[in-house]
């Protein structure tokens, strides 16, 4: 075990602590790897001296626009580390135009806590925005074109396997099954009928109420679904598993989701061009 679980994430104040993570060093590593891979590195904000960075790489011609975020919860190290691994191994090629926010909550990551340093859960902050991190993140998102796919990458301290949330209001071809099929090769899927308080639509798949008007708090995915994308996944690896398993699982999920989306978009008009709803 890499981590000690001491409380449920459902409590308002989290006492779960992961091994502290160095956001400044990680941001520097992301920036160097991103520049080597042809990305533009943008610092869109600063929190307690830590940089908030976004990486963008525009492919020539018309390509799917794919957004990924990680590091929203500071006790979830696998998502940023997965993106760093993908970046350092040349994953982000010219098949798509990429938009990456890899370290959304540096003050949570440095403390190993779900919330930021002021105790806010940033993934409940997208309707009545209170955190400076969220404000800067939204300002950055509003400067980007609409996305064909968004992936919000997370971990879950309570799950017994990998699972995902799907927001697919326009009934685009679902990527959920291909994602879980790819993950299954390296990590069990959470087969529980109820995960995180929600009844699953199929093993490992949650299709939550996706109408933003019916949601009292907005996680990032609901905000993205309302303003920036037509299909969205939140990917959750099980924190109880060793870190390398979780990174492998996320890597498989991201590879599968992007490959399938790019394939589907290449076929006639499975997806019309995205527009801002
Ligand atoms: Zn999370």
What string of pLDDT tens digits covers the 277 residues of the chain?
A: 333 333 344 443 444 556 678 999 999 999 999 999 999 999 999 999 999 999 999 998 889 999 999 999 999 999 999 999 999 999 999 999 999 999 999 999 999 999 999 999 999 999 999 999 999 999 999 999 999 999 999 999 999 999 999 999 999 999 999 999 999 999 999 999 999 899 999 999 999 887 888 888 899 999 999 999 999 999 999 999 999 999 999 999 999 999 999 999 987 554 555 555 4
- The CA 154 to ligand 1 mean position distance, Å, reads 4
- The CA 269 to ligand 1 mean position distance, Å, reads 33
- The CA 56 to ligand 1 mean position distance, Å, reads 23
- The CA 123 to ligand 1 mean position distance, Å, reads 7
Number of Cβ within 10 Å of residue 271's Cβ equals 18
- The CA 169 to ligand 1 mean position distance, Å, reads 22
Greatest alpha-carbon span in the chain: 51
Query: Distance (Å, rounded) from C-alpha 225 to C-alpha 74?
Result: 23
Q: 198 - beta bridge partners?
A: 195
Query: Distance (Å, rounded) from C-alpha 115 to C-alpha 267?
Result: 42
Asked if 75 contacts 3 with a C-beta cutoff of 8 angstroms, the reply is: yes
- The CA 101 to ligand 1 mean position distance, Å, reads 14
Domains of the chain, residue spans: 23-166+209-266
- The CA 9 to ligand 1 mean position distance, Å, reads 9
All residues with CB under 5 Å from ion ligand 1:
73, 76, 154
- The CA 61 to ligand 1 mean position distance, Å, reads 34
Output the pLDDT for position 267.
77
- H or E element: which one contains 245? helix 243-266
Output the pLDDT for position 61.
85
- The CA 270 to ligand 1 mean position distance, Å, reads 31
- The CA 200 to ligand 1 mean position distance, Å, reads 18
Output the pLDDT for position 217.
87
Q: Which residues of 84-121 are buried (b: 16+ CB within 10 A; e: fewer)?
A: bbbbeeebbeebbbbbbbbbbbbbbbbbbbbbbbeebb
- Kindly report whether the global pTM for this prediction surpasses the value 0.85: yes
At the topology level, CATH places domain 23-166+209-266 in Aminopeptidase (3.40.630)
């Amino acid at each position: 075990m890499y981590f000690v679980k001491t409380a449920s994430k459902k409590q308002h104040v989290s006492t779960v602590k992961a091994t502290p993570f160095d956001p400044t060093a990680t941001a520097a590593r992301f920036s160097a790897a991103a520049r080597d891979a042809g990305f533009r590195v943008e610092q869109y904000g600063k929190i307690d001296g830590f940089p908030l960075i976004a990486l963008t790489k525009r492919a020539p011609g018309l390509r799917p626009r794919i957004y990924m975020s990680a590091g929203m919860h500071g006790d979830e190290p696998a998502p940023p580390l997965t993106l760093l691994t993908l970046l350092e191994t040349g994953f982000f090629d010219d098949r798509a135009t990429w938009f990456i926010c890899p370290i959304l909550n540096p003050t949570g990551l440095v403390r190993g806590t779900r919330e930021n340093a002021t105790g806010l859960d940033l993934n409940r902050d997208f309707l009545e925005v209170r955190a400076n991190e969220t404000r800067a993140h939204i300002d950055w998102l509003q400067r980007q074109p609409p996305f064909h796919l968004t992936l919000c990458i997370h971990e879950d301290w309570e799950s017994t396997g990998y699972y995902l949330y799907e927001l697919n209001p326009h009934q685009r071809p679902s990527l959920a099954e291909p994602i879980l099929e790819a993950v299954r090769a390296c990590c069990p899927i959470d087969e529980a009928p109820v995960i995180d308080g929600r009844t699953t639509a199929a093993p490992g798949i949650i299709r939550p109420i996706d109408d933003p008007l019916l949601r009292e708090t907005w996680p990032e995915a609901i905000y993205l679904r309302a303003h920036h994308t037509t299909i969205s996944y939140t990917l959750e690896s099980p924190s109880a598993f060793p870190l390398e398993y979780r990174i492998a699982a996320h890597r498989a999920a991201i590879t599968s989701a992007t490959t399938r989306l790019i394939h589907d978009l290449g076929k006639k008009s499975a997806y019309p061009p995205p527009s801002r709803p």
